[in-house]
Amino acid sequence: MQTTNPFQTILDELGEVKDLLYSLKKEPEIELKKKLYSIKECSEILKLDYQTVRSHILKGNIKAEQIGRFYRVKHFDLMDALSEVKSLKYRR
């Protein structure tokens, strides 16, 4: 005689819900990998002047891709540069 757990269906459904929540949690991170910012958007996020952000890009302090005449900065590169640029802002 085979004994079955009366809660097995509930446990199976909880596992499916857990997998669904995990995939929903990861979805914004995947979308942010594709997000690109212009220099103007970067200057608003970093609260710096447009020319300051542009000079940091040209110096290599902020990683950016040049597409035509325009520079585009990936989301994670901008977040990595956020602390570095803020410290450079106040360095004399």
pLDDT at residue 71, rounded to an integer: 95
Q: How much is the pTM?
A: 0.60
Q: Is residue 16 part of a domain?
A: no
Q: Is residue 13 part of a domain?
A: no
- CB neighbours of residue 57 within 10 Å: 19
Q: Is residue 80 part of a domain?
A: yes
Q: Is residue 65 part of a domain?
A: yes
Give per-residue pLDDT as tens, 41-79.
999 988 889 999 999 899 988 899 999 999 999 988 888
Please give the residue range of the domain that contains residue 65: 35-90
Give per-residue pLDDT as tens, 1-31.
556 777 888 888 888 888 888 877 776 676 7
Quick check: helix, strand or coil at residue 60? coil
Q: Is residue 60 part of a domain?
A: yes
CATH number where 56 lies? 1.10.1660
pLDDT at residue 33, rounded to an integer: 77
- The domain tally of the chain equals 1
Q: How far apart are CA 27 and CA 72, in angstroms?
A: 22
